[in-house]
Amino acid sequence: MGKLGRLFKKMHIKNLKMYTVFGRKKYMKHLCKIYKKYGVQFESQLPRFIASDVYFDTTAKIFIGEGTTITSNCLLLTHDHAIEYGYYACEANYNKEFRIQKEIRIGKWSFIGQRTIILPGVTIGDNVIVGAGSIVTKDLKSNGVYAGSPAKFICSTSDYYKRRSEIDKEYIVNTN
């Protein structure tokens, strides 16, 4: 592991300690200040939670809505160099560098599951749940549960809540 890797590991451990000692709200204020310096934009209210190991590619803008949760090891990619290599394959003498850059928008009170990849130009609506390990390639409409590679509509968030609260009612714990 190189110097940069060790630095991020230390920062991740420091942020976890800060979360434990000061609580979620102070942790989020601290983390959001850091992310804002790199171009991530938040609504007037803070997100509910963003893991400290989320990768934000800030080549283009990223907007995150109030109350949103982004869990660990997620990737939010705002650029793509693949088109450049397509041109190389088609035109042998082409020697310019270029890429696609598109912003990402995540609505209010959405939940992004662990190790999700969100590709350039995607808009995720309000009250959306994205299952762990999903690859989001297209816009996701509000009030839906999506999962898979590529992410596809599973059911509405209200149907999901009804099903899960019935199936797992003995395991639901109030964390307030």
The crossing angle, in degrees rounded to 10, of helices 24-37 and 3-22 is 150
- Does residue 13 belong to any structural domain of this protein? yes
Residue 143 lies in a domain: yes
Residue 173 domain flag = no
Residue 3 phi/psi, 5-degree rounding, is -60, -45
In the prediction, which pLDDT does 39 show?
85
Residue 88 lies in a domain: yes
Catalytic site residue 12?
Answer: no
Domain annotation covers residue 96: yes
Q: How many domains does the chain have?
A: 1
- 174 in any annotated domain: no
Say what the pLDDT of residue 20 is.
Answer: 54
Q: What is the chain's pLDDT, residue by residue, as a tens digit (176 residues)?
A: 444 445 445 555 555 555 555 567 777 887 888 888 888 999 878 899 898 889 998 889 999 999 999 999 999 999 887 777 777 777 656 566 777 899 999 999 999 999 999 999 999 999 999 999 999 999 999 999 999 999 999 999 999 999 888 887 777 777 66
| Full domain range(s) for residue 156 | 3-167
| Catalytic residue chosen out of the listed positions 12, 30, 79, 81 | 81
User: For position 27, which CATH number holds?
Assistant: 2.160.10.10
Nearest residue to 140 (alpha-carbon basis) of 106, 98, 169 = 106
